[in-house]
Amino acid sequence: MNNNLTFQFGMYEPATDSIIVNNRENSILVIRCKECNSSVIFDEPSHVVYLCHLAEETLLLYAKLALKANGLQNYVDAMNKFN
């Protein structure tokens, strides 16, 4: 997988809990948040809210982290340290 993707445009689709992004090569990538979030281990089940807010408010960062090995897990671990 290409870890150097640069996204031009993205949107969160609440009906499918997905992020749809367009990269520089004019291809569309659909990231299903429920599937990505299921691979993360949470200290508390309620901590899934970290990823929900990220997907809805900073979706291009969510997309980049979801495509990176342990990206979402590292994000949640960092959020746990701050809170």
pLDDT of 25-56, one tens digit each? 778 889 999 999 999 999 999 999 999 999 99
For residue 34, being part of any structural domain is answered with yes
Split into its structural domains, the chain has a count of 1
For residue 65, being part of any structural domain is answered with yes
Residue 19: pLDDT above 60? yes
List the 28-32 sheet strands across, edge first.
7-13, 18-23, 28-32
For residue 2, being part of any structural domain is answered with no
**What is the percent of the chain where pLDDT is above 70?**
94
The arithmetic mean of pLDDT across residues 55-63, rounded, is: 93
pTM exceeding 0.75: yes
For residue 73, being part of any structural domain is answered with yes
Q: How far apart are CA 2 and CA 40, in angstroms?
A: 21
For residue 1, being part of any structural domain is answered with no
Mean of the per-residue pLDDT values of the chain: 89
**18-23 and 28-32 beta bridge pairing:** antiparallel
CB atoms within 10 A of CB 79: 16
For residue 59, being part of any structural domain is answered with yes
Q: Which domain holds residue 15?
A: 7-82
For residue 25, being part of any structural domain is answered with yes
